[in-house]
Amino acid sequence: MNKLRGRYVLLVLFFICSLSTALFAGNTAEFAKDWSISWVFKAETIEFTMSAPTTGWISLGFNPTRRMKDADYILAYVEDGKVYISDEYGTGSTSHKSDVSLGGKESAKAISFIESAQKTTITFSLPLNSGDQYDTVFRKGDACKVLGAYANSKNLKSKHSKRSSVDIIL
């Protein structure tokens, strides 16, 4: 009887693991090797984790209309054991400004970070709908173009070292 129960428990665990892998496998995208994003929906927010092979700033931009224009950007870096994060908006094809400087609000909230000699990973949350005209409204199942960039500098005004984009389904 104990062998039968043990097999049953293993079968249930295998099923749960398979189901969770299937449910969450689509919530990750890669820009390149060692450069990725993942996301998970919460009740009123969406949490993103971005990772890049740098110790400088890293960023995500959501739904540009042309190049960088009209994208909702989150730029962040780690320094002295703290994460610094900025919510910005694409004001032109190759420019962006903080939401606050445009009359909007800072909507990004840092959750966690890891920085090593070769890689930075930052997790942050955004409201599903902040009400800010400079922020993206996130809905599960929507298509979203995501711009990724990173730099070797911690100065958010410095130009990116690498950039890329991916199309995802939230």
Q: Can you give the pLDDT of all 170 residues of the chain as single tens digits?
A: 555 554 444 434 344 443 333 344 469 999 999 999 999 999 999 999 999 999 999 999 999 899 888 789 999 999 999 999 999 888 887 788 888 888 989 999 999 999 999 999 999 999 999 999 889 999 999 999 999 999 998 987 888 889 999 999 99
Angstrom CA distances, 1 to 12, 15, 43, 154, stand at: 17, 21, 42, 61
Give the ranges where the chain is alpha helix by DSSP (H). 2-24
Q: Which pLDDT score, from 0 to 100, does residue 94 have?
A: 79
- Architecture of 28-169 per CATH? Sandwich (2.60)
CA 95 to chain centre: 20
- Residues near 64 by Cβ (< 8 Å), separated by ≥ 6? 70, 71, 90, 145, 147
* Residue appearing with tokens 């009123």: 44
